[in-house]
Every structure is written in structure tokens, then in C-alpha cells.
Amino acid sequence: MRYLSGSLCPPVSTDAVTMDKIVSLSKRRGFVFPSSEIYGGLGSSYDYGHYGVLLKDNVKARWLEAMVRERDDIVALDSSIILHPEVWKASGHVGGFSDPLVDCRLCKQRFREDHLETERCGKRPSKKPGETAECDLTEARQFNLMFRTRVGAMEESGVDVYLRPETAQGIFINFKNVASIARRKPPFGIAQVGKSFRNEITPGNFIFRTLEFEQMEMEFFVPPAEADEWYRYWVAERLAWHVRYGVRESHLRVRPHEADELSHYSRGTSDIEYLFPIGWSELEGIANRGDFDLTQHTEASGTKLEWVDAGTGERFVPHVVEPALGVNRSMLAFLIDAYDEEVVGERQRTVLRLHPQLAPVKAAVLPLVGKDAAMVEMARSLFEELRRHHSVEYDDNGAIGRRYRRQDEIGTPYGLTIDEQTLEDETVTVRDRDSLEQERLPIGGVRARIGELLAADWRSPKVG
């Protein structure tokens, strides 16, 4: 049912970055930890540390800003994870949200049939599954990806329910509530950010594919005749969002689905793909879903989900265009695209060239000599002023070079150093993470300057 295009399509990125480097930096600096590590780990789940939480929050905030705050035609929603089980029958998920699963009787490995081209044989990793006599693959079986659980205190009287595998259905079943209360007329959209769960057959590649993840989905309801136009609009709009927050255009591409790949509901789908170290792979999907969802829920629930114009009496079932992006996958793309290594003054430094508006920490306040009471006092006072407005850090521990390297690795765009000269003339150096240029500013002007820098347009200095 689904299609991971990326690994079918070389080339692999030529950057210094590899998935191993991202995994190691993420752990070392407290972005992402393997889950349940002290119990041996659970391969496909991850926990997010301090900087991971801040980065993830910034990704969600930038998405919500672009979808809701900067527009007049989209409102927000937060629907439940556990919905009425009939929702998933009507949506087609109970019957059809499955992947074809293939087992190897000899090496006992399990594969997605639609990924066999890119998987490795368990016995001979240079070969694909099924390519040699050492493989004995079963027929494909459909495996439903929804996690099932039970609601109710008593086992006998309980009801089977599902953890949602996407946030979209919570939006469709609220169409009537939102359309009437928000007084919206198509074209208008409903945006939602929240957790989804999929019992993936082959999770992996770090946080690219996990069992639980967050999604940012927006359902845009339009008059049927305008659906194609809005579909093209949202493909362009979403591509521009990734570029706006620093992903290099050369590492992004749009891939329209072939007719035989389309989901049952789709009249057209395009993936925005990113050149991950594993190859071109889906980052975000944009689908023209027609009237499938509203019609299905109307039939199954008996509640008419349609637009009725109170003035003219005109009525129609809107068509839906949906951009759907994984928060964690987006965060991974930002981390990979930002990762850089360079030699500065004979020392290698690793730096995350994150867009300042995504960076977990915006500025670090660093007294040059951590034991100098006067410097510490001035630095603390600057830090206290800035922390009321931005996510900033104070650090007086260890050699200044080490402190800079730590901030470079978590992607802090600005370093503010308090030194001897500050004590004399109350000026501070502002160090730019990417160019390493330093400017000297009066301490009283730092807050305004940081605000200005953070608000400015930004492009990745990485080339290629």
C-alpha cells in the first residue's frame, strides 16, 4: 500500500554526514536516546532529551505558524488518539491499512514485500532477499499496521479500539463542528499536530520510521472544481516551507506517485523527498483525497458532512487536499541537512548549521574566564535579561574553546562572550556560529541585536 521510494533511487548524499554520525551526536548531546536502553533497548522507539524536545517544539511551532498564524483560512484542532472504532472501518483502515509482509524461512528475517528491492538478504547481505538459493521466502501476507487495545475495566465487556495511525481522521469527523463554529466556508483548512502509532513491519533508520511518531497534518476543504489547483498550490507551498527553514533545495525533490502507487482514496499524491543518507526518501506527502473521507463518514455515521451555504442554500461535499509531515522525520532531515564538519585553525569542529528559528538554544552567554567574579556577574546579568525573551544558556564551565564546541554541536547560532574589555567599556562580542565572525556591541544593545538576527531571513551556508 505504501511506497518508500528513496532507497530505490541512488545517489546517496555526498555530504560528510552519515546516519551513524547523526545517531552519535544525538546521543552525545542529548537530542535523542534509544528508548528503554537500560533494559537492552526497543529497536524502534526513541526518547527525546532536552535539546531534542526544544528542536522538536521549534519544528512544530514553525509549522503551526506557517499553517495557522500566518494565514486567515486555517484553524487548529487537537482530537483524541483513541476514536470510536467505527471511524477506522469507515476510513478504510481496518480493511486496508496494511503492508505486505514476507518471511524468510531460512534466515527468519521479515521484509516488506514492496521493499525487497532495497533490503538485504539475512545470510548474504550483498544480495537482495530471494536472490540466492539461501533464501526461502513465504508468500506475501497482509499485515495491518494499527495497534489494537481495549477500553473498559472488564475483559468480557470491553471494546476493541485502535491507537490512531494518522491524525487526519480526527479532523474529518470534526468537520461539522469546525465548519459551523469557526464560520468557515471552503476553501478552508483544519490543522493538527499529534502522536500517531503504526506497528511497522520493518521500523528503522533511527527516527525515520518508528512505532510512535508525531504528525503535522492539515486537511484543506475546497470546492470540488478547485481541488487540482489547490493540490498544486500545496505541493509548492510545502516545498517552500522546507527551504524557508534551511533545507537545501538541491536535497529536496517532488515525486508525483504513479497511478499504480496511489492509495485507494487518492486522486493524486506527491511526495516531497529529501536526500537522506539512505537515499531519496519520503519526507512529506501531499494528497488530493477527493470527497472520499467526508462521504465515507457521512455514510457510516448518518451525519451529513457537507458544506451548506446559509444564504443561497448551495450545498456540496468539499474535496480535500492534505499535506502530511512527520515531526520526527522532519527533525531528522533538519539535523542531517545542518550537520557539518570543518577544520578551523587545525582543529576539526562539528557544527549544526540549523536555522536560528529552529535552533534549540539561540545564544550562549559565556564569561571568558569562568572564575572571574566581575565577568561572571556581568554575564549572569546579561543572561537573566535575555532568558526572558529567548531560549538562551549560560556556561562558565571549562575552557572557552570547549564551551564553543559544545554550542556548535547543538547548533547555537550566537555566542556572547564577556571578557576583559567588557569590564572596561561594557561591550560584548557576538560570535556567529557559521562564519565565526565576531562583532563587538554595547551590552545594552545585545538583546535588540539578537532579536534582529533571529528575525532575519536565513539560508544554509552549506553548499551542494
Length of the chain: 464
Q: Does 245 bind ligand ATP (CB under 6 A)?
A: no
Give yes or no for residue 128 binding ligand ATP (CB under 6 A): no
Near ligand ATP by CB under 6 A, which window of 130-138, 152-160, 208-216, 392-400? 208-216
What is the dihedral angle through the alpha carbons of 439, 445, 447, 451, rounded to the nearest 10 degrees? Answer: -70
Nearer to ligand ATP, 210 or 460 (CB): 210
What amino acid occupies position 415? G
Query: Rounded to the nearest 5 degrees, what angle is found at the Cα of 279, between the Cα atoms of 66 and 200?
Result: 75
Name which of residues 308 to 367 contact ligand ATP (CB under 6 A): 324-326, 328-329
Q: C-beta of 58: minimal distance to ligand ATP in Å?
A: 17
Q: Of the candidates 129, 165, 442, 105, which has an alpha carbon nearest to the alpha carbon of residue 326?
A: 165
Task: Annotate each residue in 265-294 with x if it binds ligand ATP (CB under 6 A) or - if it does not, as one string.
Answer: -----------------xxxx---------
Q: How far is the CB of 394 from ligand ATP (least distance, A)?
A: 35
Site string for ligand ATP, 155-174 (x = CB under 6 A): -----------x--------
For ligand ATP, which residue has the nearest CB? 326
Residues sharing a CB contact under 8 Å with residue 406, sequence separation 6 or more, in sequence order? 29, 395
Nearest to 36, CA basis, from 212, 166, 157: 212
Return the C-alpha cell found at 21: 554520525
Residue 239, interface with ligand ATP (CB under 6 A)?
Answer: no
Closer by beta carbon to ligand ATP, 135 or else 283: 283
DSSP symbol at 6 = G
Q: How far is the CB of 5 from ligand ATP (least distance, A)?
A: 8
DSSP 32-86: EEETTGGGT--TT-EEE-HHHHHHHHHHHHHHHIIIIIT-SSEEEE---SB--HH
Closest CA to 415 of 402, 334, 444, 372: 402
The reply to whether 407 sits near ligand ATP by the rule CB under 6 A is no
Q: Could you say which of 58, 91, 192, 215 contacts ligand ATP (CB under 6 A)? A: 215
**Strand, helix or coil for residue 209:** strand
Under rule CB under 6 A, residue 198 binds ligand ATP: yes
Smallest distance from ligand ATP to CB 63, Å: 12
Per rule CB under 6 A, count of chain residues that contact ligand ATP: 19
Q: Could you tell me the smallest distance in angstroms from the CB atom of residue 145 to ligand ATP?
A: 8
- Sequence-distant (6+) residues with CB within 8 A of 44 are 200, 203, 204, 209, 210, 211
Which residues of this chain interact with ligand ATP, rule CB under 6 A?
A: 2-4, 166, 198, 200, 209-210, 213, 215, 282-285, 324-326, 328-329
